[in-house]
Amino acid sequence: MDRTVYLNGAWVAEGEAKVSIFDRGFLFADAIYEVTAVIQGKLVDYPGHVARLKRSLGALGIAMPVAEEVLLELHKQIARRNGVEDGLIYLQISRGVQDRDFVFPETMEPTFVMFTQKKKVLDNPKWKTGLSVKTVAEGRWSDRQIKTVQLLYSSLRKTEANREGYDDVLFVENGHITEASSANFHIVTQEGVLVTRDLSNALLHGITRGSILHLAREAELVVEERAFTPQEAKSASEAFVTSATSFVTPVVRLDGEKIGTGETGPVSGKLLEIYIREQLAAGIPVAS
């Protein structure tokens, strides 16, 4: 393969085209794409693809990286440069490069790539034989126990919440809280019971969550793993999130209402203290 691809305003040999590992397309799936077919040197349904591209970019708040006339010229040129009479033109635009953070700034320099794939689009044997298919459960994306980089929705909602003055969001499904954008969420009831969502494909199985529940049980707290509502969280005596980046961090307000006193509570404070102490004692030294 010896294609010329398009990368951020330049024509580059495919082997030379490099995108940063800090690109948000790579880290957060924060990118959109289009595929346009070429048959006998003609772009197929081009206006429809451009219209959808603009809708996708608009929905994510990513600026169109080039003017529309330039975009058409790029489609023509990339096909000509690669001798594509029949094939596909793939384009992808990501929000751009930033140190990893769920929250992104209002303006960023998008990453824009295009490449071609030669393919005999008009010579499709399946047009004669037809396809054989099977049904699977619709689950795009309902496998949240897998720690994938499909983080676009979480990133969009957290950024939006930040701009509204909140620190984070809690996702609610069928009336029950699943988790925060990038942390597990727990409450302590007025009776002192630690309630946390039970493990399933509805949420990520947090490593910190597991350790904290273990420490809580050791400290003789009653732990219940079950679904709970935002209303129950608002009536809790305290609440907190857990993650590898925040350890145990209290949550003091939900939808503008105080949780408990609206101040940080003793249970989360104690669990944070025990967790840090334990990890400082048992953590693996990097210097050995």
Which residues are known to be catalytic? 147
Distance CA(81)–CA(11), nearest Å, equals 10
Nearer Cβ to ligand PDD (128/140): 140
Identify the sign of the CA torsion 242, 245, 249, 251: negative
Q: Is 268 in the site for ligand PDD (CB under 6 A)?
A: no
Helix (H, G, I), strand (E, B) or coil at 185: strand
Contacts of 168 (CB under 8 A, 6+ apart): 158, 161, 180, 181, 183, 241, 251
Nearer Cβ to ligand PDD (174/245): 245
- The single residue among 82, 184, 196, 268 that binds ligand PDD, judged by CB under 6 A, is 184
| Phi and psi torsions of 178, nearest 5° | -90, -65
Q: Is 186 in the site for ligand PDD (CB under 6 A)?
A: no
Identify the sign of the CA torsion 216, 217, 221, 223: positive
Nearer Cβ to ligand PDD (30/34): 30
Q: Is 207 in the site for ligand PDD (CB under 6 A)?
A: yes
- The single residue among 243, 254, 260, 272 that binds ligand PDD, judged by CB under 6 A, is 243
Q: How far is the CB of 121 from ligand PDD (least distance, A)?
A: 40
Residue pair 227/171 in contact by the 8 Å Cβ criterion: no
Q: How far is the CB of 66 from ligand PDD (least distance, A)?
A: 32
Distance CA(151)–CA(40), nearest Å, equals 39
Nearer Cβ to ligand PDD (126/226): 226
Q: Is 168 in the site for ligand PDD (CB under 6 A)?
A: no
* Binding positions for ligand PDD, rule: CB under 6 A: 179, 182-184, 204, 206-209, 242-245
